[in-house]
Structures are given as C-alpha cells and as structure tokens.
Amino acid sequence: MQKKIIKSFRKSLVEKNKNNSQANPDVIPNGAIDGKTQSPKHLTNATSDKPAANLAAGESDSGTPQPPIVISPAQSRPTIEPEHTRKSRKPIIVVVVVIALIAAVIATIFLIHDHLENQRLDAESVVLKENLTIEFGQSAKVSDFLANLNGSIIEDKPIDTEQLGQQEITFEYINVKNRKRPSKFTIEVVDTTKPKIFGGNTYTVYTNHQGELTDLMMSGDNVDDNPVREIHGSYDINKPGTYELKYSITDASGNQTVKPFTLNVINPPTSSNPPSPQPELTPISSIIKQHKTTETKVGIDVSQWQGEIDWEKVKASGVEFAMLRIGYQYGFDGEYVIDPYFEANLIGAKANQLPVGLYSYSYATTPAEARAEAEWIFATLSEIASRNPELRSSSSSSNINLELGIAFDWENWSYFNTVGMSFYTINKTAETFLKTVEDAGYKPLLYSSKNYLDLIWQPSQLAQKIPTMNTWLAQYYHYATYDGDYQIWQMTDSGRVLGINEPVDIDIMYLKPGNPADT
C-alpha cells in the first residue's frame, strides 16, 4: 500500500512539472539542462547512492521533495539586438568622434595661441637692464634690475647680495591683460672694492724683531676673511738700517691695495724705559658742571680694575647711571669668565636706585661665537637673579631689569690681521650679538672708539636691521667729534669719583636720540 502511494505521488509530480514547463518556458524542471530533458538513467549523485531519477523527480538526498529551479530570462537566453538597430547607431558614433576630435584640435590651437601670446607679452612686458651685476652687500630690490615693466610687480622683494657669484632671481607680476605671470633673471654679485690698509708711513723695530712685518699695520678686506698680505722690497731685520718697502694686500677677487712705507731697524736700548707718569685725574664734579643738563645724565662704567666700590658714596658724588662689566672671554676661543666684582656692583648700584647696563669684553670671531656669548650672559644673569630675588624686574619674572641694556665690546684690533675676519664678518658678528640681545628683551648697544666706528663698524646699517640699537662712543676728548648717532659718550678713562679708589671711566648719556651735536 505504501509503494502505491509513493508511485502515485511521483506520477503527479512529473505531470505538474510538465505543465509548468509548458506554461512558463523559463522554469526548467529538475533534471533538465539547456531545455533538454536528460534521461534519469544517465544522472547520478556524486555524494549519494540514490538513483539520479529520484533526484530528478525533486527528491533530496534525505527523500524530501524540492521545489523547481527558476532561471531568470537574462540567464535563460541572451537578448540579441536587431541588426538594423546596430547599423543605425554607427553614423551617430562617427559624428561624436569627429566632433570630439574637432574640439580637441580647437582646444589645442587655443592653448598654443595662448602660450605664444603669453610669451609675446612676457618679452614685451619685462625689459631688463643691460648691467645685471651688483656690488657685494649693496641694497637692492627686483625693480632695480628692470629697465621697463608693462604691468605691476606683485612683491618687489629685496635681493640678498651677501653671497658672491651668480644668483637666479624670480618674481611675479600682473601684465596688461591682468594675468599673473612668473618671470626670472640672473644677476651676479661681485666684489670690486679694494682692501684697506690702516697705518702710517714710518715704522721702527728692534733688530731680531720676531713679529710679522705685515702686522705693523692693520689691514683687511670687505669680503675676504683671509686676504694675502705681503711685504715687497729688500731688508735685513738683523741689521740696523733704513729700508724702503711696500705693503700689499690682495683679496680673492683680485682687488689689491699697495702702501709704501719706511722701515727703521735699530738696536734695542741698553736700559729700560722709565715708567709712564700717572695721568691727571678729572673729578666728576667738574664734569657735572660742564656737561650736566636737563637732557643729559652723568655716569660711570666699572670693572674689577676699580676694586671694591662704595655705591652709596658714588651716588652721593653725582653719578646718575652705571655700566658694569659682567665678564670677558679668556682670549680667542677661550672660556667665558665672570668679573669677580660684577655681582657686588650690580647689587650695590641697584640698591642705590641707579639705572644700569652691562657689557662683556668679547673675543668672538664668528656669528656663532657671538650668539654663544650673549647666551652665556643671559645664563649668568639668571643665576644671579636666583640668588638675589630683589634684583628681579618683577615677582613673576626671572629677568634682571637692565635699563640701559647690554653692550657688545670688541677691541682686539691689534690681532685683527691674524684672526681671519673680513669687515663683513666682524659686522655680522656684532649684528648677531645685538640681535640676540634684542630678541631676549634687552636694549642692544655697540661700544667702540670713534676711529673704528668711522673705519670698520657700520652702525647705520646695523641700526636698520636692529632698530632698538644704540651706540656707545668712546672718545677721550673735551668734546665728541663723531658724526654718527650715539646715546652714550665715554669721555675719559681718568675720572675721580668718591667711593672708588682707582681711576674710572666717566660717561655722558643723552636723553634725546640722534647726534647730540645736532641738538
């Protein structure tokens, strides 16, 4: 009975699949492939031992009937585009391609024309000067090299002329069609300045003189740190006599200066020279009487050479400010040494309400050394402030208030020939020190005698780069003859001040900026 029921079920299932395939050709009965019914006897299940006929009838491995497999129209048969439709599309494609090619050609022609037009405008807009050379260190801008410009420079940039050789200059401008255009040209920075020799016409040395005769006179070049110095002519340093010689100095650019001079060679004296007489000291009271006004202050500058100072007496004598030496460098490439009296002088001056500034005696020969020296000063001040909180400018600050700032003091001119410095290098060294001081919040000062302010230093150029800089002039005369601007004048090194047992430098400070002679 059970077999009859199963047989009847199979028969009805086959009939149903047949009807479905006739009603819906997209429905493929189980066991049919590509629309062709396969004979059940050729189908077997690789994973089952049941006859394929059972599976074809919709029975699973477990004997459970399965629904028919439905194939979508896209899977059952591909859609074939009619031939007349394909032919009608070919002319359209050709037209689109031709239009695209024409557009590309037009765009290319436009770009080429635009490029050529820009080149034409560039050639007409920017006309350079014939001479594209400039002297080392000379101030210049882009516009200084343009003979004509049909348009306007976007940024007329300054040009760095502190490197010899060729330099490519780039800039942008707006042309007559209001287009932003780039441009460039090449300049050459040259050095045509002759070296300088500072000296007299006659020099006398003892027999067996050990030094270099080229060091009898100071000489140097504006750019070359190591120019060639030579003595020309015949002489015998071991034989007394008079010799006519020439001193020459030649820089790397071929510029040369020659100075004739007379060399006298003599025997050394048989007895030592008598000691020099002590200078006559000028009391500060007479200086106050002569130079004190509503627009000036009278002060002093001191170091360990003045010994222990009674600052209460100093102020009572009429001193109104003080410049203090913080220390010095122990020769070229040497260590920094603090002045043994600096801290006591700072405390004493501050306790008596005297405005103060400071200076360090420098041996710096490079900008890097100058920066290191300034940083040593800051560190030293910080240590002193930590030990003496009353010196701080405020309770919230670790800085000491230096009303008169920090001065750069370089005076080693007798060694200048041997330390490998040009006039550019020594000014760059000073600039670095002064800029470092300014950046730290202090007023920078350049200390120098009148001669070297006139011959070596470039205070006006330094002041352009460091607007807060002032000059501290040293000229021991009854009045100053320096033509430049200065704030403090060190007028003598032979002053006498109550509370100081040794001769002391006396200074006049001018409260109005500029050259006091102009006021």
Question: What are the DSSP calls for 387-421, one per residue?
Answer: H-GGGBSSTT--SB--TTEEEEEE--GGGGGGTT-
- pLDDT tops 90 at residue 394: no
CB 253 within 8 A of CB 221: no
pLDDT band per the 50, 70, 90 thresholds, residue 87: low
Question: Mean pLDDT across the stretch 63-85?
Answer: 54
Q: Please report the DSSP string for 105-122 in residue order.
A: HHHHHHHHHHHHHHHHHH
Question: Which of 73-77, 191-195, 510-514 has the least mean pLDDT?
Answer: 73-77
- pLDDT tops 70 at residue 16: no
pLDDT per residue over 120-140, tens digit each? Answer: 666 578 999 999 999 999 999
The reply to whether CATH 3.40.630.30 applies to domain 282-518 is: no
Going from N- to C-terminal start, the domains of the chain cover 2-76, 94-190, 196-266, 282-518
- pLDDT tops 80 at residue 74: no
Q: Please report the DSSP string for 156-182 in residue order.
A: --B---SS-EEEEEEEEEEETTS-EEE
- pLDDT tops 80 at residue 18: no
Nearest to 405 by CA among 453, 355, 350: 355
- pLDDT tops 70 at residue 463: yes
Q: Do domains 196-266 and 282-518 have the same CATH topology?
A: no
Cα 356 from chain centroid (whole Å): 32
Which burial class, exposed, middle or buried, applies to 515 when counting CB atoms under 10 A from its CB (0-12, 13-18, 19+)?
middle
Task: State the Cα–Cα distance between residues 418 and 45, nearest whole angstrom.
Answer: 105
The amino acid present at 72, given as its one-letter code, is S
Instruction: Work out the mean pLDDT of the chain and round it to a whole number.
Output: 85
pLDDT per residue over 424-455, tens digit each? Answer: 999 999 999 999 999 999 999 999 999 999 99
pLDDT band per the 50, 70, 90 thresholds, residue 80: low
Question: Which of 53-57, 163-167, 296-300, 373-377 has the least mean pLDDT?
Answer: 53-57
- pLDDT tops 50 at residue 470: yes
- Looking at domain 196-266, what is its CATH homologous superfamily? Immunoglobulins (2.60.40.10)
Instruction: Pull the structure tokens for residue 182.
Output: 């780039």
- Calculate the alpha carbon distances from 345 to 34, 65, 301, 356, 376 in Å: 113, 113, 11, 10, 19
Question: Mean pLDDT across the stretch 94-117?
Answer: 75
Task: State the Cα–Cα distance between residues 253 and 14, nearest whole angstrom.
Answer: 111
Task: State the Cα–Cα distance between residues 49 and 63, nearest whole angstrom.
Answer: 12
The reply to whether CATH 2.60.40 applies to domain 94-190 is: yes
Helices 423-439/367-387 angle, 10° precision: 30
The amino acid present at 376, given as its one-letter code, is W
